[in-house]
Homo-oligomer: A and B are copies of this chain.
Amino acid sequence: MRNHKKVSIYDIAKIAGVSSASVSYVINGKGKVSQETKQRILKAMEQTGYIPDTTAVTLSTGKSHLVALCLPFKDASEAFVNNPFYGEFLGYFEKEMIKEGYDIIIGSLMDANEFTRWVKSRNLEGIVMMGLFPSEIYEAVQKLGIAVVLVDVYESYSPAFKNIRVDDKGGSYNATKYLIDCGHQNIGFIGGNINNSLVDDMRYVGYLQALEENHLNLDNKHVYKIPATFDGGYAIAEEIASHIDEMTAIVCAADIIAIGVIRRLNELGHKIPDELSIVGFDDIQAARYIYPALTTIHQSIREKGRLSALTMINQLNENVKVDQEAVVIKTSLVVRQSVKNIK
């Protein structure tokens, strides 16, 4: 059927004049094989251009060296298109996993049954779930009994799940505090529902906390809840514009929102940051693209991806070092041009 029958450990065993077991031993560095036979085997592998078959290994050991990255969208394309964040995360995550010999496949939002079938039929060794899924999915995942890493999730479903998060509250606090330090007193907030998760709430809480600590009033009129998309920001900007005299600054729970707001405000002839200072959260690439460039809270997607991978690998190797409940990634303020000092 296939072109040139592939060479198996039997072939190389025959050539080297040994048993297939010995071949397997030298491949895996297990068992004790004399230097001499080892050399013969190695030479045979060389000659024949032997390539081990991962599929057979998987069938035999149950280890597929395959890990899934799951996104809470019906189509993964939805995620990748609307938010470059997912692509970047995938890139960094994959990079680390590949080093350890794992390949990544992408999963999307499916019902619990489908999900279970998929994971089992592929013999996936682990899954990282970004953002919030319906709770029945977590139950299903738990039953699977494989390595799980949750990213950007505050809800706790199982002590077996490892968590990677960003310091959302602290970041938002710092963003708000920065505005206050720049002399702003009337500061609004635009929150989105990022995956419907508590991430957004935490960012709101950070904002609130900064206001309180500085004895500033919260004016609920100036707190907006919208979809965390460019279009969401674009749309709410009209409303913002009509209240623009009542605030001097606004904090956005996501860059993509801020970008939409700024875009529309520009269109409406408002000057940023002269008429309104704006800070974002995330520091996506596009934050640099716009004018004025967006002052924002940087979260390292690289770190997120890398730590997710390391946490995963730790579990896969079953030599879990630290059993910490969650890894929290620090944020930092990136000052660009969307905030005016009005002191």
Contact = CB atoms under 8 A, between A and B. Distances in A.
Contacts of A267: 291
A86 B56 CA distance: 32
A66 to B, nearest CB: 8
A13 B6 CA distance: 32
Contact of A84 (B87, B95, B145, B290): B87
B305 A291 contact: no
A155 to B, nearest CB: 25
Interface string A130-144: 000000000000000
A122 B81 contact: no
B122 A103 contact: yes
A261 B171 CA distance: 31
Contacts of A289: 230, 259-260, 263, 286, 289-290
A56 B59 contact: yes
Interface string A284-321: 01101111010000000110010000000000000000
A241 B64 CA distance: 56
B123 A94 contact: no
Contacts of A111: none
Interface stretch (A71-79, A184-192, A213-221): A71-79
Nearest to A103: B105
A91 interface: yes
B123 A53 contact: yes
Given A1-B62, A105-B105, A80 B75 contact: no
A290 B291 contact: yes
Nearest to A287: B289
- 4 shortest A-B CB distances, which residue pairs? A87-B87, A77-B91, A80-B91, A80-B87
Given A75-B95, A290-B290, A52 B285 contact: no
Interface string A115-126: 011001111000
Contacts of A15: none
8 contacts: A53-B123, A54-B123, A76-B91, A87-B87, A98-B108, A230-B288, A263-B293, A286-B286
Nearest to A96: B77
A141 to B, nearest CB: 14
A2 to B, nearest CB: 6
A56 B122 CA distance: 10
Contacts of A91: 75-81
